[in-house]
């Protein structure tokens, strides 16, 4: 099936790798921000069905219809705008270049820093959602299908996963590693995504397993 990045670039890019290998420019920064926002929401929606799932569906709909007259974009596009505004300050650079160092002194890329900027925006939106009662008038059957990830059809209950994560009391890095694996990434992809080494990942995976065993007295963690 046609990938979103191919569809919305009118065939210029065959995949996201080709897009992100290019330097950030005024011509591609919008598409880059939109693709990063989609990927971030895909990751978050696996454990946040209340906010991230709603934003993800809204963003998918926005990308298909925002060119139409009188179309009003959803809150989901706020996430894309956060990414676009963050990337725009790095015009002329690639997303793989070093952005700075995190609290642990590890170098992070511009792309990873952008993901973290989105994480902060999602946290703000979650807090807002806790104080707001939403009435959802979205007609899910009328939404266009995501050619890459048809998550609209999923009916998985993530409440048990949420309870497990809360019980483990993971650090921010441990939670990020766990979410990467829950998103289907392999170790090399986790290294690239989080900007950390295999040894660091192994150390935190062992820590997560130990906590799991301490609470549930069994090893049932398959990553």
pLDDT at 150: 44
Which H or E run contains 213? helix 198-216
Return d(Cα 51, Cα 49) in angstroms, integer: 6
pLDDT-based confidence at residue 89 (cuts at 50, 70, 90): very high
% of residues, the chain, pLDDT over 90: 19
pLDDT-based confidence at residue 129 (cuts at 50, 70, 90): low
| Mean pLDDT, rounded, for 143-153 | 48
Residue 11 CB neighbour total at 10 angstroms: 9
Please list the residue range(s) of the chain that carry CATH number 1.10.10: 157-223
| Mean pLDDT, rounded, for 132-140 | 51
* CB of 95 closer than 8 Å to CB of 114: yes
Q: What Rg do the C-alpha atoms of the chain give, in angstroms? A: 18
Domain boundaries 157-223, corresponding CATH code: 1.10.10
pLDDT at 221: 53
């Amino acid at each position: 099936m046609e990938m979103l990045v191919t569809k919305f670039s009118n065939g210029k890019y065959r995949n996201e790798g080709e897009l992100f290998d290019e330097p950030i420019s005024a011509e591609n920064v919008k598409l880059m921000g939109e693709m990063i926002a989609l990927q971030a929401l895909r990751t978050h929606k696996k454990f946040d069905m209340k906010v991230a799932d709603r934003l993800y569906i809204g963003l998918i709909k926005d990308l298909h219809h925002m060119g139409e007259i009188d179309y009003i974009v959803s809150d989901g596009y706020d996430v894309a705008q956060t990414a676009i505004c963050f990337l725009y300050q790095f015009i002329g650079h690639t997303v793989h270049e070093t952005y700075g160092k995190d609290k642990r002194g590890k170098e992070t890329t511009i792309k990873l820093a952008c993901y973290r900027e989105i994480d902060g925006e999602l946290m703000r939106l979650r807090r807002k959602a806790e104080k707001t009662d939403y009435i959802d008038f979205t007609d899910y059957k009328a939404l266009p299908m995501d050619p890459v990830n048809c998550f609209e059809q999923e009916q998985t209950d993530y409440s048990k996963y949420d309870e497990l994560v809360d019980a483990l009391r993971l650090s921010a890095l441990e939670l990020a590693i766990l979410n990467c694996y829950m998103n289907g990434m392999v170790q090399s992809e986790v290294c690239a995504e989080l900007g950390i080494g295999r040894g660091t990942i192994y150390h935190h995976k062992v820590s997560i397993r130990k906590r799991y065993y301490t609470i549930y007295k069994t090893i049932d963690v398959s990553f």
